[in-house]
Amino acid sequence: MDDNITDNPSNIKDVDASNFMAEVIEKSKEKPVIVDFWAPWCAPCKQLAPVLEKAVSNVNDKISLTKINIDENQSIAGQLQIQSIPTVYAFYQGQVADGFQGNLPESEVNEFVKKVINLAGPGQEVEELIVSLNNSLEQMDWDNAKSFANEVLKIDNVNKNALAGLIEAEIGSKRFDKAKEIVNSLNDDLKNDKILLAAVDKIEISEKAFLASSEIEPLKQKLKDNPNDLKLSLDLAVALFGGGNIMEAYEILLSSIEKDSEWNEQAARKQLLAFFQTDGLNSEHSKIARRKLSSILFS
């Protein structure tokens, strides 16, 4: 490692006791600051430095890297109890929030930097992308939704809203196998998150409805001949929903609930609520059907 590196990005700099408070403690109140403790005689330090600098330079506006030569700044090293080098600490909100010791592979350094960035939350760019993602989902613009979701995941690969949005976009595109692949790639913590659980539930409901959609006309004819057959009504509602005839599916289920709300352990009501979750509670179709459902149940 050279003592003076002149071509570093603006978010990478050498720090000493005179500016430690300003460059580390105070700046960490605005965004995370990584501190690399090193010494000129330390071979692992020289191996780690360019890897760490590369990872940080790729995210110039989200994080800072400061480098402290412990030979020249023993008071700082003593205060922070640095006992071996390289030691890397991440400061956020004026305090040590994470860190590691020793030389790590590049992949692990990159993951560490991503984790430190996430200390400050998603950031304005991610928030704007999530808004665009949600708007695309509401408009059933599946291609744009996938694009926005993938842009978020490039920045934050465990963003729950983006993962759920990507799953919903694949469902909307009738790519159920792809949606299942995304789910299978998630770790257990993500799979059990309520946002992603809701998205996962939609896969089975939507796939079942889509497969049934080819039976719409035969079911309509059967129901015409047997208008009080609530099982046929339920099957037709599922088929209609899968074919994109959402309001028609809702009307059939609402009619069934009016006829016999307790039939088959409230099967029509349960199916309607499941469709609300898949369609979105705030979709126009769902709002209309929910008002009608309330009128039926509480009249």
The domain locations on the chain are 12-120, 123-192, 212-298
- Return the pLDDT at 4: 38
- Return the pLDDT at 60: 65
Distance separating alpha carbons of residues 102 and 106, to the nearest angstrom: 12
CA angle 48, 54, 57 (to 5 degrees): 135
- Return the pLDDT at 3: 40
**Domain 212-298 CATH (choose: 2.160.10.10, 3.40.50.2300, 1.10.10.60, 1.25.40.10):** 1.25.40.10
- Return the pLDDT at 2: 42
- Return the pLDDT at 215: 92
Contact between 58 and 13 under an 8 Å Cβ cutoff? The reply is no
Give the phi and the psi of residue 132 in degrees, each rounded to 5: -65, -40
CA distances from residue 194 to 148, 197, 201, 211, 242 in whole angstroms, order as listed:
21, 5, 10, 27, 24
- Return the pLDDT at 170: 96
DSSP 269: H
- Return the pLDDT at 86: 94
Residue positions annotated with a catalytic role: 42, 45
pTM above 0.75, yes or no: no
Q: Which two tokens stand for residue 281?
A: 């509670």
Q: Which CATH class is domain 123-192?
A: mainly alpha
- Return the pLDDT at 92: 93
- Pairing of β 95-101 and β 33-38: unpaired
Chain-centre distance of CA 48, in angstroms? 30
Chain-centre distance of CA 217, in angstroms? 39
- Return the pLDDT at 131: 93
pLDDT digit string (tens) for the chain, length 299 residues:
444 333 456 788 999 999 999 999 999 998 899 999 999 999 999 999 999 999 998 776 788 999 999 999 999 999 998 989 999 999 999 999 999 999 999 999 988 998 888 787 667 778 889 999 999 998 889 999 999 999 999 877 888 999 999 999 999 999 999 999 999 999 888 888 888 998 998 998 899 889 888 899 999 999 999 999 999 999 999 999 988 899 999 999 999 999 999 999 999 999 999 999 888 888 899 999 999 999 998 87
Distance separating alpha carbons of residues 166 and 160, to the nearest angstrom: 10
Across the beta sheet with 12-14, what order do the strands follow? 12-14, 64-69, 33-38, 87-92, 95-101
- Return the pLDDT at 127: 84
What would be the CATH architecture of the domain defined by 12-120? 3-Layer(aba) Sandwich (3.40)
* E strand or H helix that includes residue 124: helix 123-138
Identical fold, 123-192 and 212-298: yes
